[in-house]
């Protein structure tokens, strides 16, 4: 089974939680159009390698989403944060916002998807990252967390995530990850 990760920004944990809350009587934050969902499924059937590359989409509610299949917020983002901030592994892992469960409200309500927080430290480091540094950061991250062949795909992901982080900082928002499993 493939795990899908949708990175997005929101004004608060309560707003972000709606990405995983289909029964709250309010629109879902990550409401992709049926056409977008169908196109993603078709791409995955015809070209799984291309479908696995990060993509940027805008939902019907106007939320910018960076979609990926390989970037686990609880594991891979720890390595990225260590590269960008020089924070120790234990410090990143114990940050209260490092992959904290935002939605659903209780663990027993988890049914196929969750919303996790991304640390503000990583958001800020991404937002201040120089564009020229992206390929080197991707290379280091690939070597540390994946394999050298992943550097190009990670660079594409970093470009999109850096843009999302910059937008989040300028709007006073935080970053989140909607994980579908």
CA distance readout (Å), 43 to 6, 36, 53, 55, 65 = 17, 10, 11, 12, 17
Q: H helices of 1-148, where?
A: 13-17, 34-46, 48-52, 76-85, 89-93, 120-127, 134-145
pLDDT band at 87 (very low <50, low <70, confident <90, very high): very high
Q: pTM of the full predicted structure?
A: 0.85
pLDDT in tens, 45-65: 777 666 666 777 777 777 888
Q: Specify the pLDDT at position 41.
A: 65
Backbone angles phi, psi at 16, to 5 degrees: -60, -35
CA distance 169 to 120: 9
pLDDT in tens, 103-157: 987 777 777 789 999 999 999 999 999 999 999 999 999 999 998 888 988 999 9
């Amino acid at each position: 089974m493939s795990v899908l990760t949708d990175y997005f920004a929101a004004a608060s944990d309560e707003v972000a939680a709606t990405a995983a809350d289909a029964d709250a009587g309010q629109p879902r934050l990550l409401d992709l159009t049926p056409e977008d969902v169908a196109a993603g499924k078709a791409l995955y059937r015809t070209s799984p390698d291309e479908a696995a590359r990060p993509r940027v989409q805008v939902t019907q509610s106007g939320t910018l989403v960076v979609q990926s299949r390989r970037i686990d917020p609880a594991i891979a983002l720890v390595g990225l944060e260590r590269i960008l901030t020089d924070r120790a592994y234990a410090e990143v892992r114990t940050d209260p916002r490092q992959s904290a469960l935002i939605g659903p409200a209780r663990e027993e309500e988890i049914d196929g998807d969750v919303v996790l927080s991304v640390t503000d430290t990583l958001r800020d480091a991404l937002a201040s990252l120089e564009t020229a540094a992206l390929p080197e950061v991707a290379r280091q991250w690939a070597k540390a967390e994946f394999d050298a062949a992943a550097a190009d795909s990670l660079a594409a992901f970093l470009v999109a995530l850096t843009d999302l982080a910059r937008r989040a900082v300028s709007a006073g928002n935080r970053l989140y990850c909607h994980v579908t499993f």
